[in-house]
Chain A
Amino acid sequence: MASPEALHPLSGLRVLDIGREVAGPVCGRLLARLGADVIRVESPGTGDPARRRGPFRAGAAHGESGPLHLYVNEGKRGVAIDLRTASGRDLFLNLVAKSDAVVENFEPRVLGKLDLAYATLAAARPEIVLTSISTFGDGGPYRDYRATELTVFAMGGHMYRSGDAARQPLRMGGWPSQYLVALHAAYATLVALRLAEERGVGQHVTLSIFESQVTAHAQAMVEVSYYAEETGACTPRGAMGLRGVRARDGMAMVTAQEQQMGRLAELVGAPPELGRVDPMNREGGRRALLEHVARWAEGHTKREVYELGQAMHIPASYPADPADLLASPQYRHRGFIESVDHPEAGRVAIPGIPFRWAGSTAPPRPAPRLGEHNAEVFGGLLGLSGAQLAQLAGAGVIA
């Protein structure tokens, strides 16, 4: 095995990840896979709630093998410290003194309550970069609003037009707003670290999930600014909705712009005149063609609709489920889905980093068990003796 040090872009950087559940830990995972030494810091006893979020593999330990935890904490070392105790806080500040960045996503007032605000961290290490992700940022009227993925997705302006006009608006599945802000946070952390490494300047980087959602609009935010004096309705719900076609084994999508309609007619064996745009009857012609598409799709699998459409340079697709993703020839070719062996959960398939580069992404490693690297980190990095570790463990400060 080649020496792991100095091979990876972020080798030599140490990041303390004290995040909760999704956004902070995802940011930490990205930095870990780019080569940083990311130490996941959790509370002794139960650890992060993501650990206990199921479903679980039969027989696997529930505190160690929640899928979200296995995914977002992959690539890190793990310690447990009770930050609410004086000696836990001291221990953490000793780690800060040996680190380059701290990533957190508590509500804005939490770090202050723990007496671990930026100024305190900077006193322990002036070059430290503190990256704070919160739903609404560290100021403004909504700062202390409670929020979840649903409520911030609703506020971010993407939900009002998602779903059918006759039904209630829908959120996107999963935690898209948390992952998007995590990508922004990882970028912003590296930007700040560049300044810290070059000039010794540390700083506090803050991110708002709400604002991150607003920056993810294709054009709506331009429209409301350019046409601010107008009062007409925004795009109604359902107008942007894509309806699929039923393939033999599930749904597929065939969309075509006007210049692609001729090829689409050829693909589905429709009369050629349906592939020509009739300026007097644009919608009618399109509907007639789509009926042919629907009948054609019924005789094919969703992958065939995708492959045959793409062979005609038509942007066909299908909503891939996790099994499709694992079997994807494209993903296999690129080695995107990796596999890690976790001591409690067994072998787990795990999506990697969404780019290939000159062979320097850190290899996957399983998410740490709670406190797994206590001795390695507190002993190896901070020089604590076995007796000191035992004393801290006995007092419940670490576990």
Chain B
Amino acid sequence: MTAVRGRLPLEGVRILDLGQFWAAPNAGRAWADAGAEVIKVESCRRPDPLRIQARGIYPDHDPRGEHGDHWNRSGMINERNRNKLGLTLDLQEPRGRDLFLRLARVSDAVSQNFSTGVLERLGLGYNALAEANPRIILVSIMSQGLTGPESSYVSYGGNLEQLGGISHLSGYPDDPDSSVGFALPDPLGGATAALALLAALRHRDRTGRGMEIDLSQREAATLVVGDSVVEHSLTGEQPPRIANHEPGASPSDAYPCAGYDEWVTLVVRSDADWARLCTAIGRSELAADPRFATIVARRRHRDEVDALITAWTAQRSKHAAMSWLQQWGVAAGAVLNPRELFVDPHLRTRGFWERVHDPSDGEQEYYGRAFRFSASPLTTRMPTPQLGQHNREILSGLLGLADAEIDELERDEVIGTRPVLNESGGLMVRAR
């Protein structure tokens, strides 16, 4: 374990993380990174589906590896569950449910993103948890929330972008069918859940009462375009799609660079910006040209402006264009792809990537965090747990079970370290 200066902020907080896929495990990772004891609870009959993806990401493209434990080798699982402990419990089995409730008695929170109604059907809804521990906080990260006429609708990140109002604003103005999306409601949902729990913990510590947090990822999507809702409520108009144009700026777009499908974006927010851009591209005489002197004029002569800029960018690599324009104080950013981000000098200099020794995947690098704390630096203290890795430690350490009792649970498949899959390698229970 890496030594840390002082205490981690969330030390002493214990969270049972039933999360699967993306949004809820991300919230669990945010808490675990900050020092909470986060126990990732899975069932061998129903592990996190990312453990057994047919088209997953595995070292050397080899799911089975040396030990055949493909469920521990999925890169997707190992990216978002670091710093957590791993426990398996068959929650459909009475003993598994009972053990979960006993753990809830000694925990601060439970986090989950099953489909609506699943937790209740397992007998582990908020009422059952609160009966076991009135101080417990249940964080339910749902597509559209626990209540309302659309709460049981099926979704994934992409259609919540649609329903939340992001897609309406995103796309080519002349092509209404086009759309931009990358399932943002999942990371948004995870970040919102992380925040909500911290607030609820403070409330609980002051009042002694836990609560249920009923989070809607669709609402989280609307949160990020809320100003368009306010705008519509003020004017009655629909905010237009503006593609790469930023309000109050011109030009503002992506321009082609040397190479195949390489681009640099730049944004000119003032006439002074424009003068700097003209100098940067060796055309300082254009700064005073009345065709381009004001934002309105540049918009009117947009094709000419674009041609002037493209003539310059097309002869340079996107990195060279970005760096040169920035030297002249022009807001410019290369359109980077993931491979370029992985070797990006800025991110490397800042130590954004963390090398982790994963017991099944060997040395891998995962990204760090969006936030850094000066008094309590956050690190990857433990890699993602293997399925059921800490069963014994948790059941004996937290619940005082004897070795023989744990052996029996193992024999009866209430706990385990291997998934119980159907004949075609899939889940025994439908995924979602």
Contacts and interface: CB of A to CB of B under 8 A. Distances in A.
B423 interface: no
A175 B61 CA distance: 37
B151 to A, nearest CB: 7
B369 A190 contact: no
Interface stretch (A76-84, A87-95, A217-225, A382-390): A217-225
A354 B223 contact: yes
Given A173-B169, A320-B165, A357 B224 contact: no
A181 B224 CA distance: 11
Contact of A150 (B78, B175, B267): B267
A199 interface: yes
A205 interface: yes
A293 interface: no
Nearest to B74: A222
A180 B187 contact: yes
B244 A168 contact: yes
Contacts of B67: none
Interface residues of B, number: 151
B125 to A, nearest CB: 15
Interface in A205-230: 205-208, 210-212, 214-228
Given A218-B183, A225-B366, A358-B212, A310 B219 contact: no
A224 B342 contact: yes
Interface in A299-324: 306, 310, 313-324
Contacts of B243: 170-171
B368 A211 contact: yes
A320 to B, nearest CB: 5
B57 A223 contact: yes
A10 interface: yes
Given A140-B346, A215-B187, A226-B75, A204 B374 contact: yes
A356 B337 contact: no
A199 B35 CA distance: 15
Nearest to B78: A222
B332 A151 contact: yes
B163 interface: yes
Interface stretch (A241-249, A268-276, A370-378): A241-249
Contacts of A329: 148-150
B84 to A, nearest CB: 17
Given A226-B57, A355-B215, A154 B350 contact: no
A142 to B, nearest CB: 4
Contact of A321 (B172, B212, B238): B238
B198 A187 contact: yes
Interface stretch (A40-48, A108-116, A332-340): A332-340
Contact of A174 (B214, B224, B346): B224
B337 to A, nearest CB: 4
Contact of A152 (B57, B79, B237, B333): B333
A143 B205 CA distance: 39
Nearest to B366: A225
Interface in B219-263: 219-220, 222-235, 237-239, 241-244, 246-249, 252-254, 256, 261, 263
Nearest to A203: B375
B70 interface: no
B337 A157 contact: yes
Nearest to A202: B375
A394 interface: no
B253 A336 contact: no
Contact of B233 (A154, A191, A319, A326): A326
Contact of A191 (B34, B148, B178, B231): B34
A253 interface: yes
B196 interface: yes
A6 B203 CA distance: 9
A283 to B, nearest CB: 17
Contacts of A155: 333-336
Given A9-B202, A190-B195, A356 B172 contact: no
A224 B339 contact: yes
A351 interface: yes
Interface string A253-296: 10100000000000000000000000000000000000000000
Interface string B148-167: 11110111111110111111
A151 B266 contact: yes
Contacts of A164: 172, 175, 178
Contact of A354 (B192, B238, B341, B373): B192
A251 B224 CA distance: 21
B281 to A, nearest CB: 16
A157 B182 CA distance: 11
B307 interface: no
A240 interface: yes
A207 B338 contact: no
Given A150-B333, A154-B333, A195-B375, A241 B188 contact: no
Interface in B14-37: 22, 30, 34
A349 B191 contact: no
Given A160-B337, A330-B151, A242 B374 contact: no
A221 B199 contact: no
B177 interface: yes
Interface stretch (B2-10, B288-296, B406-414): B2-10
**Quick one: which of A56, A197, A310 has the most chain B CB within 10 A?**
A310
Contacts of A220: 338
A320 B192 contact: no
12 contacts: A71-B230, A154-B254, A175-B227, A195-B376, A205-B372, A207-B370, A243-B177, A315-B156, A317-B159, A349-B229, A355-B219, A360-B203
Interface of A: 6, 8-10, 30, 34-35, 53, 55-57, 60, 65, 67-68, 70-72, 118, 136-137, 139-142, 145-164, 167-176, 179-181, 183-188, 190-192, 194-195, 197, 199, 201-208, 210-212, 214-228, 234, 237, 240-244, 246, 250-251, 253, 255, 306, 310, 313-326, 329-331, 333-334, 336-337, 345, 348-358, 360
Closest A-B pairs by Cβ, 8 of them: A173-B169, A151-B333, A354-B219, A322-B232, A317-B159, A212-B370, A203-B375, A349-B233
